[in-house]
Amino acid sequence: MKAHDGMYIDGAWRPAAGTDTIEVVNPADEQVIARVPAGTAEDVDAAVRAARAALPAWAATPPAARGAVLGALRDALAGRLDEIAGTVTAELGSPLAFSQKVQVGMPVMVAGSYAELAAAYPFEEKVGNSTVYQEPVGVVAAITPWNYPLHQIVAKVAPALAAGCTVVLKPAEDTPLTAQLFAEAAHEAGVPAGVLNLVTGLGPVAGQALAEHAGVDLVSFTGSTAVGRRIGATAGAAVKRVALELGGKSANVILPSADLAKAVNVGVANVMSNSGQTCSAWTRMLVHTSQYEEAVELAAAAAAKYGDRIGPLVNAGQQERVRGYIEKGIAEGARLVAGGPEAPRERGYYVSPTVFADVTPEMTIAQEEIFGPVLSILRYEDEDDAVRIANGTVYGLAGAVWAGEEAEAVAFARRLETGQVDINGGRFNPLAPFGGYKQSGVGRELGAHGLSEYLQTKSLQF
């Protein structure tokens, strides 16, 4: 696969400061497909300086002109849809059709939404005898995970650029090739030199150097709660803005009045999609005791249908981790009704679509984020019990509620401690704020709420 052997800094591909590299592995066949430079603190420093130097001019660029650049970026990404989707499939393993439609299609939509928002957003308002300005926060450190490699980048870089901020991007080590294609697209779209900079590298080296850099004004991080906690502490000590999108353990609550078969089938598809590597996946299905066995049967059949259509997990470590959780589920007494811990293929980091029944709220598989194709089905006695179970984890990222009447589902959803709820299978909305309650994070991405994360307010009194 095509790979740059340098960093994209100040509008050009420049040699890395060190000689270490990171191997990029195709998780479907375990072959090394490319190598990219492993950035050091020196690379990070050069990128932050470039971002700072470019800040005054970009911040002063009229929002509509920034929007026009984002429109060109959307077009550049759309024009390379097949190339980027092929790269995502090669380094992440998601099936090609999913890469095209979701892995690239969704960020193209999000980039387009920020092209429009930049032009339409009220960056200035009158409040009594004051004028309140929304100004860019400054230099942004964007640290992203591998599960939706392009989406995670666009969900940070597009609003940051719309706001007038400049960015240093440190993508996940498993998926740096998609990030390099993103930098190429930004270059093609006319993003001025220094406004977007890319440093590939390891989290504890390049990522940490970036999060700690004194020249960074805001750290926007998506990834695990463990690393997020650490980044939050570092940013807090430096009194620096921070946005954290972390893990999840979302509940899919099926009320007795719902269309059970539809709710179960959509719920299984939601968990198995992207091989379960979706932070907002509804990994706990909550079913009323009267419909429990029927739901279990439906879910097991739906999971079995996935069989060969599911992609691998991103790397050997994730495969081991997920298989470990499946073994733990069995050991703690849950009933395995589909899949299991055995690797379904000899080559590649595959895990079978797995469903557990008789899962109780305190079990490890009901509490911890597994990040693989594993669904736990829990039983509830009444609505209060369902609320208690749904809210009974440290997370609060997403969820779903199904009911015969929308109003019944909405009333239940309002009792959930979570940032997003899909009602009766509601569609993805790129303008709806996305982010967590509790330990799922701080701040929101997407739409106007996502844009406001990159703005600070100044008021002038007259």
Residue 18 makes CB contacts below 8 A (sequence gap 6+) with 37, 38, 39, 40, 42, 43
Q: Write down the least CB distance from residue 423 to ligand NAD, Å.
A: 20
Please say which residue, 69 or 211, places its beta carbon nearer to ligand NAD: 211
Q: Write down the least CB distance from residue 276 to ligand NAD, Å.
A: 11
Q: If phi over 0 gives left and psi between -120 and 50 gives alpha, with beta otherwise, what is residue 171?
A: beta
Q: Which residues bind ligand NAD (CB under 6 A)?
A: 143-147, 170-173, 203-204, 207-208, 211, 222-224, 227, 230-231, 245-248, 279, 369, 371, 397, 441
Please say which residue, 58 or 221, places its beta carbon nearer to ligand NAD: 221
Please choose, from the candidates 163, 198, 202, 170, the residue with its C-alpha nearest in 3D space to the C-alpha of residue 183.
198
Say if strands 422-423 and 399-402 run parallel, antiparallel, or are unpaired. parallel
Q: Write down the least CB distance from residue 450 to ligand NAD, Å.
A: 11
Q: Write down the least CB distance from residue 227 to ligand NAD, Å.
A: 4
Q: Write down the least CB distance from residue 413 to ligand NAD, Å.
A: 19
- Please tell me the distance from the alpha carbon of residue 144 to that of residue 142, in angstroms, as a whole number: 6
- Please tell me the distance from the alpha carbon of residue 150 to that of residue 109, in angstroms, as a whole number: 12
Tokens of 402: 């199904």
454 exposure class (CB count in 10 Å sphere: 0-12, 13-18, 19+)? buried
Q: Which residues of 145-170 are buried (b: 16+ CB within 10 A; e: fewer)?
A: bbbbbbbbbbbbbbbbbbbbbbbbbb
Q: What are phi and psi of 59, to 5 degrees?
A: -65, -30
The residues carrying an active-site annotation are 245
Whether 391 contacts 416, CB under 8 Å: yes
Please say which residue, 170 or 288, places its beta carbon nearer to ligand NAD: 170
Tokens of 167: 């960015």
Q: What is the dihedral of CA 312, 146, 41, 454, to 10 degrees?
A: 180
Please say which residue, 209 or 263, places its beta carbon nearer to ligand NAD: 209
Whether 228 contacts 426, CB under 8 Å: no
Q: Write down the least CB distance from residue 220 to ligand NAD, Å.
A: 11
Please say which residue, 134 or 175, places its beta carbon nearer to ligand NAD: 175
- Cβ-closest position to ligand NAD: 203
Please choose, from the candidates 202, 197, 77, the residue with its C-alpha nearest in 3D space to the C-alpha of residue 142.
197
Q: Write down the least CB distance from residue 206 to ligand NAD, Å.
A: 8
Please say which residue, 234 or 265, places its beta carbon nearer to ligand NAD: 234
Tokens of 58: 């970009």
- Please tell me the distance from the alpha carbon of residue 429 to that of residue 415, in angstroms, as a whole number: 22
Residue with tokens 């078969």: 261
* 190 CB neighbour count, 10 Å cutoff: 12
Please say which residue, 27 or 71, places its beta carbon nearer to ligand NAD: 27
Please say which residue, 164 or 443, places its beta carbon nearer to ligand NAD: 443
Q: Write down the least CB distance from residue 209 to ligand NAD, Å.
A: 8
Q: Write down the least CB distance from residue 103 to ligand NAD, Å.
A: 13
Please say which residue, 26 or 134, places its beta carbon nearer to ligand NAD: 26
- Please tell me the distance from the alpha carbon of residue 285 to that of residue 267, in angstroms, as a whole number: 7
Q: How far is CA 454 from CA 55, 137, 197, 219, in A?
A: 13, 6, 17, 10
